[in-house]
């Protein structure tokens, strides 16, 4: 049996910020596997190296994903974490919960797992951290009974997630929570039975502030926007200014296209609608006075991802404006076309951003039938190496 | 057999009545004090949200505790933010102050709103990942013990987003954060030829290498790594456990600055390298916490109101960034991977 003291981890119980070590200790007081997890982590802190082996294939009946196999590299020393798998549980869109739902979940996890969780994982799932192979099925059965489904893992659709949207934000141009719910429901098969070359993430933010970090963290980002003009309540603007608000420093000077100016005589905010690129800054700074436009929809960006392997990408605009309202037919058709193309053309472990970089954006757009528009580029190409299509040139044999 | 493929719980069953009534009808919000959001609806109804820090890696006891609080003050409703904070949703204004008092008495940190450092998005690290170059939770805890004063107040020039990733996979938007802490490997994988021959699919291992540094070794039915081409991403190790990349002697921490995801004012930006290597020094990572604190303080002292880290650097230039922070500019800061030329300077406009 391993020595039960954790002097290095104990250091991380000091200080004001909430301590994950304290949380682990609470679980360790009840669970042998949580106790061994702490011991193994202490060893990592001592040796400066991780002690988890590669995942193995584990799962629950009917599903190809949602469970991450994890095995200790030192099962002799830490037998209770010899198997210590993760269940990814599909979070509620917008991360809203009733206490009853959360207590239900805790009860099941206390019964079958380590009692440790992540609220939430980076993709958005509720992470139930650590149980053995034998407990996976009964744990899932009980979760399913209570209305909790699994999230995604492996080469397939990952659990969609999004921002709080219309539930509590005046900037929401689209109903991000509803979109996340419906897109998850619609693509259940791709989520639960991963059959694509690699992961594919969908995230939705209801405005260009992108609180869900969709453009950076998802292969397909749905970002709420508007097509007409923002609205200004001049009376409310004057109130800000009269209260000493620095309208030059925080709003006019920060406008990326110089679309705003202050008419000192009329005490009015002048606005050039054609120049506005809907960056959100003036709205963020003066939410009582400036608000989003009326003709609302979404911009679709593709290819966002972290560095491994070719490069990190921030999503690229492929559709400047699309309606994003239930039943989302047009958007779901587009997603189906994109993911079918991805499924057919990507190499193993190639994200769609890397695939597009390899085959060329032009080929990708032609394949899914999206017309080229200037909103897609920051500038047109600066080289003459244009690929002409067969029908565009005379066939000379 | 269990019911399958029914998807996430319906949010309509999880939102408090005040939100159901005012869904899509919020008019504006204010931040009456750090950590407290006041949303006002077109109907005149008001919702207060009280935000507290969470360790993200939490026990079911913690969940029960926040449920107890939500039952007492919020009619049993709460939510989490995309950055792992907990939010108590208060529809009865008379319960706001008692809730804040109780949170204080339980030593919860209320904050993370407006021009503050919000909670840190991070990865599993040594706790549960199989390719980590460092721990994540321990760095976050050490760092935020130093910086929590910026969580509970709103005195920074703009918001500041921190992220920690335990390897260059960067799960968690590190590549677009104001300050990102990323675990790195610095030595080529150590090959266990017998293991490769027995358990690894060699073409996939070769194909996994983004720089073409892996070639077959038919004699051993294994592979070899061309040292000069390897940049230690660990992608081969993910394909084949016999390409051991973790290295207690060489693994460490890099720090990246100036990224953002919001479109507000400026376009989303990548985080850029500030510090190529700091030692992995658990349990408190003093070099890392000092460096991050220093970066926050230099930015806070020099940025104009509303200027995020990357926007501040855009204005003052990287040459002045390195001068003001006192960080050495090295050969490591000059890109030599894909798209490197997009980072080279092609103008005589710069500062001395």
pLDDT mean over A132-148:
97
Chain B: residue nearest A249 by CA? B305
- What percentage of chain B reaches a pLDDT higher than 70? 100
**A2 pLDDT above the threshold of 70:** no
pLDDT at B54: 98
pLDDT at A227: 97
Higher-confidence position of B169 and A235:
A235
| Interface contacts (A, B; CB < 8 Å) | 356
Token couple for A170 = 């005046």
Q: B24: distance to nearest CA of chain A, Å?
A: 4
Task: Determine whether the interchain pair B60/A213 forms a contact, defined as Cβ–Cβ distance below 8 Å.
Answer: no
Task: Determine whether the interchain pair B176/A216 forms a contact, defined as Cβ–Cβ distance below 8 Å.
Answer: yes
Higher-confidence position of B203 and B171:
B203
d(C-alpha A326, C-alpha A247), whole Å: 38
pLDDT at A397: 76
Chain A: residue nearest B169 by CA? A308
Task: Determine whether the interchain pair A210/B338 forms a contact, defined as Cβ–Cβ distance below 8 Å.
Answer: no
Are B119 and B85 in contact, with CB atoms under 8 Å apart? yes
Say yes or no: B13 contacts chain A, CB-CB below 8 A.
yes
**B256 pLDDT above the threshold of 50:** yes
d(C-alpha A124, C-alpha B82), whole Å: 8
Token couple for B258 = 């100036």
ipTM for this model: 0.96
Chain A residues 30-89 with a CB less than 8 Å from chain B: 37, 41, 44-45, 47-55, 60-63, 70, 84, 86
Task: Determine whether the interchain pair B70/A311 forms a contact, defined as Cβ–Cβ distance below 8 Å.
Answer: no
Chain B residues 227-286 with a CB less than 8 Å from chain A: 233-235, 238-239, 241, 246-248, 251, 259, 261-266, 268-270, 280, 282-284
DSSP-based three-state secondary structure for A194:
coil
**B27 pLDDT above the threshold of 90:** yes
Chain B: residue nearest A287 by CA? B28
Of A106, A306, A311, which has the smallest distance from its Cβ to B171's Cβ? A306
pLDDT mean over B218-232:
95
Task: Determine whether the interchain pair B57/A161 forms a contact, defined as Cβ–Cβ distance below 8 Å.
Answer: no
Q: Which residues of A touch B130 (CB under 8 A)?
A: 50, 52-55, 70
Cα A32 to chain center, whole Å? 33
Distances (CA, A) of B102 to A15, B70, B77, B89, B255: 20, 11, 17, 15, 37
Chain A residues 327-366 with a CB less than 8 Å from chain B: 347-349
| Count of C-beta atoms within a 10 Å radius of residue B193 | 15
**A57 pLDDT above the threshold of 90:** no
Which of A284, A224, A210, A213 minimizes the C-alpha distance to A254?
A284
Q: Which residues of A touch B169 (CB under 8 A)?
A: 306-308
d(C-alpha A257, C-alpha A279), whole Å: 10
d(C-alpha A345, C-alpha B272), whole Å: 32
Average per-residue pLDDT in chain A?
96
pLDDT, tens digit (0-9, with 9 covering 90-100), for B111-141: 999 999 999 999 999 999 988 999 999 999 9
CB-based burial, B287-313: b 16+ in 10 Å, e otherwise: bbbebbeebbebbbebbeebbbbbbbb
pLDDT at A1: 46
Say yes or no: A13 contacts chain B, CB-CB below 8 A.
no
Pairing status of strand B190-191 against strand B243-244: antiparallel
Ordered DSSP codes for B321-343: HHHHHTPPP-GGGS--STTGGGG
Which of B225, B120, B55 minimizes the C-alpha distance to A26?
B55
Exposed / middle / buried, residue A371 (Cβ in 10 Å: 0-12, 13-18, 19+):
exposed
Residue A4: band (very low, low, confident or very high) from pLDDT cuts 50, 70, 90: low
Residue B174: band (very low, low, confident or very high) from pLDDT cuts 50, 70, 90: confident
CB-based burial, B153-164: b 16+ in 10 Å, e otherwise: bbebbbbbbbbb
pLDDT at B196: 96
Q: Quick one: angle between helices A176-186 and A329-345, nearest 10?
A: 50
Q: A368: distance to nearest CA of chain B, Å?
A: 26
- Domains of chain A in start order, with CATH, are 7-146 (3.30.70.2500), 157-225+297-376 (3.30.413.10), 231-291 (3.30.70.20)
**B1 pLDDT above the threshold of 80:** no
Q: B14: distance to nearest CA of chain A, Å?
A: 5
- Domains of chain B in start order, with CATH, are 11-106 (3.30.70.3340), 117-185+248-333 (3.30.413.10), 190-244 (3.30.70.20)
Task: Determine whether the interchain pair A24/B59 forms a contact, defined as Cβ–Cβ distance below 8 Å.
Answer: yes
Chain A residues 224-263 with a CB less than 8 Å from chain B: 246, 249-250, 254-256
**A224 pLDDT above the threshold of 70:** yes
pLDDT, tens digit (0-9, with 9 covering 90-100), for A295-330: 999 999 999 999 888 889 999 999 999 999 999 999
């Amino acid at each position: 049996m391993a020595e039960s003291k954790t002097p290095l981890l104990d250091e991380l119980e000091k200080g004001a910020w909430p301590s994950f070590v304290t949380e682990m200790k609470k679980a360790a007081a009840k669970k042998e596997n949580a106790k061994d997890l702490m011991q193994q982590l202490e060893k990592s802190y001592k040796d400066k190296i991780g002690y988890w082996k590669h995942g193995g294939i584990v799962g629950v009946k009917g599903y190809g994903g949602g469970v991450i196999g994890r095995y200790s590299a030192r099962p002799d020393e830490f037998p209770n974490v010899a198997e210590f798998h993760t269940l990814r549980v599909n979070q509620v869109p917008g991360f809203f919960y009733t206490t009853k739902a959360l207590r239900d979940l805790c009860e099941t996890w206390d019964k079958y797992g380590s009692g440790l969780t992540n609220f939430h994982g980076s993709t958005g799932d509720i992470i139930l951290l650590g149980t053995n192979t034998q407990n996976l099925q009964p744990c899932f059965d009980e979760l399913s009974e209570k209305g909790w489904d699994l999230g995604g893992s492996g080469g397939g659709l990952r659990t969609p997630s999004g921002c709080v949207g219309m539930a509590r934000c005046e900037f929401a141009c689209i109903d991000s929570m509803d979109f996340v719910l419906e897109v998850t429901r619609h693509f259940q098969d791709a989520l639960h039975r991963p059959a694509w070359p690699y992961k594919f993430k969908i995230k939705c933010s209801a405005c260009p502030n992108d609180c869900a970090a969709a453009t950076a963290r998802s292969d397909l980002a749905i970002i709420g926007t508007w097509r007409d003009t923002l609205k200004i309540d001049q009376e409310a603007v004057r109130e800000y200014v009269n209260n000493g608000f620095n309208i030059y420093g925080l709003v006019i000077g920060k406008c990326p296209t110089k679309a705003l100016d202050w008419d000192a005589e009329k005490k009015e905010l002048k606005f050039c609608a054609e120049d506005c690129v809907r960056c959100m800054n003036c709205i963020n700074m003066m939410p009582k006075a400036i608000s989003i436009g009326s003709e609302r929809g979404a911009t679709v960006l593709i290819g966002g991802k972290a560095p491994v392997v070719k490069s990190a990408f921030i999503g690229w605009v492929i559709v400047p404006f699309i309606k994003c309202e239930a039943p989302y037919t047009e958007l779901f058709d587009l997603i189906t076309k994109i993911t079918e193309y991805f499924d057919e053309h990507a190499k193993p472990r190639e994200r769609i951003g890397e695939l597009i970089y390899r085959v060329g954006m032009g080929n990708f757009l032609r394949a899914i039938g999206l017309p080229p528009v200037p909103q897609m580029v920051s500038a047109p190409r600066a080289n003459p190496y244009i690929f002409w299509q067969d029908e565009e040139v005379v066939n000379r044999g | 057999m269990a019911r399958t493929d029914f998807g996430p719980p319906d949010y309509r069953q999880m939102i408090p009545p005040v939100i159901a009534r005012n869904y899509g009808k919020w008019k504006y919000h204010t931040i009456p004090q750090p950590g407290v959001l006041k949303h006002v609806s077109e109907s005149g109804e008001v919702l207060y949200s009280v935000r507290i820090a969470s360790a993200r890696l939490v026990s079911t006891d913690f969940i029960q505790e926040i449920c107890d609080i939500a039952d007492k003050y919020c009619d049993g409703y709460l939510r989490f933010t995309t950055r792992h904070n907990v939010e108590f949703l208060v529809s009865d204004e008379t319960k706001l102050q008692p809730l804040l008092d109780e949170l204080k008495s339980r030593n919860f940190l209320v904050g993370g709103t407006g021009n503050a450092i919000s909670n840190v998005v991070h990865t599993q690290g040594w706790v549960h990942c199989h390719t980590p170059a460092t721990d994540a939770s321990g760095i976050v805890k050490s760092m935020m013990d130093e910086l929590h004063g910026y969580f509970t107040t709103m005195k920074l020039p703009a918001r500041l987003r921190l992220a920690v990733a335990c390897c260059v996979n960067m799960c968690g938007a590190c590549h677009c954060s104001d300050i990102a802490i990323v675990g790195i490997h610095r030595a080529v994988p150590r090959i266990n030829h017998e293991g490769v021959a027995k358990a690894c699919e060699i073409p996939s291992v070769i194909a996994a290498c983004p720089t073409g540094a892996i070639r077959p070794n038919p004699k051993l039915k294994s592979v070899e790594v061309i040292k000069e081409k390897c940049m230690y991403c660990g992608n081969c190790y993910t394909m084949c456990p016999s390409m051991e990349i973790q290295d207690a002697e060489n693994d460490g921490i890099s720090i990246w600055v100036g990224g953002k995801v919001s479109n507000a004012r400026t376009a989303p930006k990548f985080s850029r390298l500030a510090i190529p290597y700091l030692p992995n020094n658990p349990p408190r990572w003093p070099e890392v916490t000092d460096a991050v604190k220093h970066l926050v303080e230099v930015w806070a002292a020099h940025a104009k109101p509303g200027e995020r880290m990357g926007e501040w650097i855009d204005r003052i230039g990287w040459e002045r960034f390195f001068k003001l922070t006192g960080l050495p500019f090295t050969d490591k800061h000059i890109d030599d991977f894909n798209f490197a030329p997009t980072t080279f300077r092609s103008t005589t406009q710069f500062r001395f």
